[in-house]
């Protein structure tokens, strides 16, 4: 979440609270919120589900907050 806000130079309310409001209303990314909801629902901790979701989350991070954008915004 922090990288997403930094890359867009937007100040969040709190990184761990009001995620829907921040992602959908402040950042204007309802499609990302829909993806995050499914990523944070874990049905079986002893399966490969977490690994697959972590890869999906990594891809979303690359898509929405590329490392070069985050690094440039932080400096």
Taking only the tens place, the pLDDT of each residue in 14-27 is 655 688 888 898 88
Q: What is the pLDDT of residue 2?
A: 76
* H/E stretch holding 34: helix 30-39
- pLDDT tens for residues 48-75? 889 999 999 999 999 998 876 656 665 5
Residue 13 is classified by DSSP as: S
pTM of this prediction? 0.61
Domain ranges of the chain: 2-70
Band the pLDDT of 6: cuts 50, 70, 90. confident
Q: What is the pLDDT of residue 68?
A: 63
Residue 45 is classified by DSSP as: T
58: which 2 tokens?
A: 């990594």
* Alpha-carbon gap, residue 16 to 2, rounded angstroms: 10
């Amino acid at each position: 979440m922090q990288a997403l806000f930094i890359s867009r130079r937007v100040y969040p309310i709190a990184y761990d609270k009001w995620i829907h409001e921040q992602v959908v209303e402040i950042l204007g990314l309802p499609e990302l919120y829909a993806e995050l909801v499914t990523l944070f629902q874990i049905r079986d901790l002893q399966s490969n589900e977490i690994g697959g979701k972590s890869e999906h989350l990594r891809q979303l991070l690359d898509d929405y907050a590329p490392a070069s954008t985050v690094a440039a915004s932080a400096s």
